[in-house]
Amino acid sequence: MSIVFKPDETFRGDYSYRNSEAAILRFPFPFPEDRYMYSVNMEPHDGKGPSGAYRHGFDVDEHYIAECRDRAITLERDPGRCQVLPHMMTAQWDTLELLMDRLSTDYPEHFSLNKSGPDFGATWTWINRPLGLEQSFVFGDAATLPCEPFEYITRQAQGDFAICDQREGTLFLDAGMVTSQADWSLDFNVGMNFMEWHGPVPLAHQAGVFERALKYLMMIRLGQPVRRLNWTMTVNPRLDTSPETFPEWGPDRASVTPENIGRKLHLRVELQTLWRLPRSNALLFPIRCYLAPLDDLVRVPKWGKRLSRVLGNLPPQLVEYKGLTRFLPTALDYLTPFDDGATLPVGTAADTACLTTTI
C-alpha cells in the first residue's frame, strides 16, 4: 500500500502535526498490562506484532517527509546533533547499507537501490523519491557522498540513530544522529559506556535490569534484530525535546489546561530496535519516535482505559523522571471518564478496526 505523505506538517511553531485515522490504529501502544514497570522487554524484530509499525525493519509512515525536514532544521541550528567518533567509519557504511537495503526492499515504490560491479556491486545508485534525491557513489569511498555515510542516510530516515561499539565487555555510544530525543543529549553522552549513559534512570538499576539487558545486547546476532518500546509524554507534538533546546519547550509543560490537554498532551513512544552490524560488529540502535495526543488514543477504547490505569498506578520516581509531575493530575482527570473499569485483555493490540468518533 502506497503511503500518502503529509509533507507540510510541522513539529514546531504552529505544530500542525496530525495523525490520520490509519496512523492512530497502527500506533505502537506500549502497555500490555494495567501497570507499568521497567523490564527487559525485548523480543525479536521479525516483522510480526500487533501493529503495522512492526511490519518492516525500518518503519516509514505518513510523517516521513515532514520528519526529515524537521531533522534538517535542527541540524542547521546545531550540527553537533550528529557526531561520529573516528573509529566508527566501518560502522557508518554498515548502517548505510542496512538502511538502503531494507528501505529499497520494503518500500520499492519510494526507494530504489541499484548495485553494479563484481561481488554484487560496489557502485551504487540510490533513489529516494519522497525527498527527490538521486545519488551515485562507490560503497566504501566516503568522498563520493555529499557528507559522511551515517549522516547521509540518517538524514533520510525517521527516528534517531545511535551506534554502539562493542569492546571491554560493554557497549560504547560512539556515534549518533539525535534530533528527536526524549530529553537526553548526544553531546553529553557520546563516548559513554552502557552503564554510564543509563546512570540517571531510577529503579531499573536496583532491579538488575541493566546487567541483564547488557549481556543480552552483546549477544545479538547478525540477521536477528530485536526491539523494545519505551515511552514518555510530551506537551505539543515536538520531536526536538533536547536538553540543548529546553528553554524552547520546557515552559510548555505549564501550558496544559483541562480544556487543551486532549490535543496538547502526547504519548511519546519509542520503537527501539537493535541490529548487529556485519563488518564493524557494532550494534545499531535506531530509536523511532511516535506521537499521539490523548484525543487520538481514547478513540481506541482499550487504549484509553489502559492509559488511565497505567498513569494512575505509576511509581512516583517514574512520574518525576519522565517529567510528568506538573500535568499528571490533569491527565488523569481527562482519562478517568473513559475507563468503565472493565477487565482488559493482556496485550497492546487495538482490538478494534475502527475508531470511536472524534470528541
Partner 1 sequence: MNGSSLQLRVVAAAAISPSLRHLQLASADGAPLPPTGAGAHVLFNLPGAGRAHRNAYSLVNAPGSRSRYDIIVRRVTASRGGSAAVHERLQVGDALEAQWPANLFAPIRGARRHLMIAGGIGITPFLSYLQDASVRQTGCELHVCCRETEQRVFAPWLPADAPVSFHWDNEGHRLDIAALLGHQPAGTHLYVCGPSELNASVLNAAAAAGWPDDQVHTEHFGSGGGGEAFEAVLQKSGLSVQVAADESLLEAIERIGVATPCLCRGGACGVCVTTLLEGEAEHRDHFLSQTDQAAGRLIMPCVSRSRGPRLVLDL
Residues that bind partner 1 (CB under 8 A): 39-47, 57, 85, 87-91, 97, 101, 118-120, 140, 165-169, 208, 211-213, 215-216, 219, 221-226, 278-282
Beta-sheet strand order (sheet of 133-138): 111-116, 123-128, 133-138
Q: In sequence order, which residues have a C-beta less than 8 Å from that of residue 153 and are 6 or more positions away?
A: 95, 96, 99, 100
Nearest to 272 by CA among 344, 198, 170: 198
Q: Which of these is catalytic: 69, 228, 253, 263?
A: 228
Active site residue 228: yes
- Least gap, CB of 83 to partner 1 (angstroms): 15
- Least gap, CB of 157 to partner 1 (angstroms): 18
- Least gap, CB of 96 to partner 1 (angstroms): 12
> Can you tell me the distance from the alpha carbon of 323 to that of 234, in angstroms, rounded to the nearest whole number?
9
Residue matched to cell numbers 551515485: 136
Alpha-carbon dihedral of residues 330, 334, 339, 340, nearest 10 degrees? 110
CB nearer partner 1, residue 11 or residue 137: 137
CB nearer partner 1, residue 19 or residue 166: 166
- Least gap, CB of 202 to partner 1 (angstroms): 20
CB nearer partner 1, residue 129 or residue 279: 279
CB nearer partner 1, residue 185 or residue 281: 281
On whether the CB atoms of residues 288 and 228 are closer than 8 A, the answer is no
- Least gap, CB of 46 to partner 1 (angstroms): 6
- Least gap, CB of 242 to partner 1 (angstroms): 27
> Can you tell me the distance from the alpha carbon of 59 to that of 106, in angstroms, rounded to the nearest whole number?
9
CB nearer partner 1, residue 155 or residue 227: 227
Would you give the DSSP letter of residue 337? G
Residue matched to cell numbers 557502485: 123
> Can you tell me the distance from the alpha carbon of 279 to that of 294, in angstroms, rounded to the nearest whole number?
43
CB nearer partner 1, residue 83 or residue 280: 280
Please report the DSSP string for 154-184 in residue order. Answer: HTTSSSEEEEEEEETTEEEEEEEE-SS-BS-
Q: Please report, as a single letter, which amino acid is at residue 358.
A: T
Nearest to 231 by CA among 273, 205, 267, 265: 267
Active-site positions read 228
